[in-house]
């Protein structure tokens, strides 16, 4: 945890917090990153976190579990974060039945990139971890992205699932009730079920197999 916080404090010095956002879903990993970023901003400003904006960017595909979006909204409000919600284009009719790549492109990737561009972000912080997917295993802590140009910072890459839960318990962070029902990784409701194996075993298998392709298109 100390290394992640030190990394974020460095980013807080080198990047404008007003042009930095946490990719915040309401899930366990992004909740930890939002809290760590809040702490980093506070420590860099001598305990005055309110002097710097805390910006959270959330992708709302229209297919999320209500328990997740409720926790997201409550946590952002309690942190005093500005919550910006990226949504699909009005009238979007693309869904899981049209194929996972088409659905993710229309409901996640295009809104994400449009929001990064519209907000003028130079840095987007994520809750990605090396051990959760092979397509993320080779990531470094800073990842340059294009179209639009920005950096993605991954402060908890080296954390395990247990590290995440240990932090949540220690920091007394709220978490989504679905985790208590057997979910271990939370995505869109039609493509997520209770885990029966590894952490992401409850995710749609086709989407998981296409993760490298989705990342190349701009996904996390």
Contact 21, 38 (CB under 8 A): no
For tokens 């309690």, the residue is: 78
Residue range(s) defining the domain that contains residue 128 = 2-176
Residue 103 lies in a domain: yes
Instruction: Provide the number of structural domains found in the chain.
Output: 1
What pTM, to 2 d.p., does this model score?
Answer: 0.93
Helix (H, G, I), strand (E, B) or coil at 207: helix
**Cis link prior to 57 (omega < 30° from 0)?**
no
**How far is CA 185 from each of CA 9, 18, 120, 172, rounded to the nearest angstrom?**
28, 29, 30, 20
pLDDT number for residue 47: 58
Say if 137 falls within a structural domain: yes
Helix boundaries (H) for the chain: 2-14, 28-44, 66-79, 100-104, 110-119, 161-171, 205-209, 211-217
Beta strands 142-145 and 150-153, pairing class: antiparallel
Residue 98, domain member (yes or no)? yes
128 domain-assigned: yes
* 181 falls within a domain: no
- Specify if 218 maps to a domain: no
User: pLDDT 10s digit of each residue in the chain, 220 long?
Assistant: 889 999 999 999 999 999 999 999 999 999 999 999 999 999 998 755 556 689 999 999 999 999 999 999 999 999 999 999 999 999 999 999 998 899 999 999 999 999 999 999 999 999 999 998 888 888 999 999 999 999 999 999 999 999 999 999 999 999 999 999 999 999 999 999 998 888 877 666 666 667 888 888 899 9
pLDDT the model gives residue 204: 62
Q: How far from 213 is each of 4, 173, 185, CA to CA, in Å?
A: 28, 33, 20
Residue 138 lies in a domain: yes
Kind of pairing between the strands at 82-86 and 55-59: parallel
DSSP-assigned letters across all residues of 17-76: GGGEEEE--SSHHHHHHHHHHHHHHHHHTTT-GGGS--EEEEE--S-B-HHHHHHHHHHH
Exposed/middle/buried for residue 89 (C-beta within 10 Å: 0-12, 13-18, 19+): exposed
Residue 200 lies in a domain: no
CATH number at residue 172: 3.40.50.620
**pLDDT given at position 3:** 97
What pairs with residue 153 in β-bridges?
125, 142
Q: Pick from 87, 62, 84, 89: which is nearest to 73 by CA? A: 84
Dihedral of CA 68/73/76/77: which sign? negative
Q: What is the pLDDT of residue 66?
A: 98
């Amino acid at each position: 945890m100390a290394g992640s916080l030190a990394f974020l404090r460095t980013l807080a010095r080198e990047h404008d917090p007003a042009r930095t956002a946490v990719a915040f879903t309401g899930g366990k990993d992004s909740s930890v990153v939002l809290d760590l970023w809040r702490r980093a901003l506070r420590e860099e400003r001598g305990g005055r976190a309110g002097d710097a904006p805390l910006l959270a960017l959330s992708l709302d595909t229209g297919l999320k579990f209500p328990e997740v979006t409720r926790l997201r909204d409550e946590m952002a409000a309690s942190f005093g974060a500005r919550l910006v919600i990226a949504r699909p284009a009005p009238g979007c009719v693309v869904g899981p039945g049209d194929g996972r790549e088409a659905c993710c492109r229309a409901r996640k990737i295009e809104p994400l990139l449009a929001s990064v561009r519209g907000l003028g972000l130079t840095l987007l912080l994520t809750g990605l971890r090396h051990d959760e997917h092979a397509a993320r295993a080779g990531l470094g802590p800073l990842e340059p992205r294009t179209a639009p140009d920005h950096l993605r910072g991954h402060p908890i890459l080296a954390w395990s699932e247990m590290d995440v839960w240990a932090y949540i318990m220690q920091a007394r962070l709220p978490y989504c009730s679905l985790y208590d029902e057997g979910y271990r990784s939370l995505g869109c409701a039609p493509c997520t079920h209770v885990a029966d194996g590894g952490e992401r075993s409850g995710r749609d298998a086709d989407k998981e197999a296409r993760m490298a392709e989705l990342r190349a298109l701009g996904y996390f």
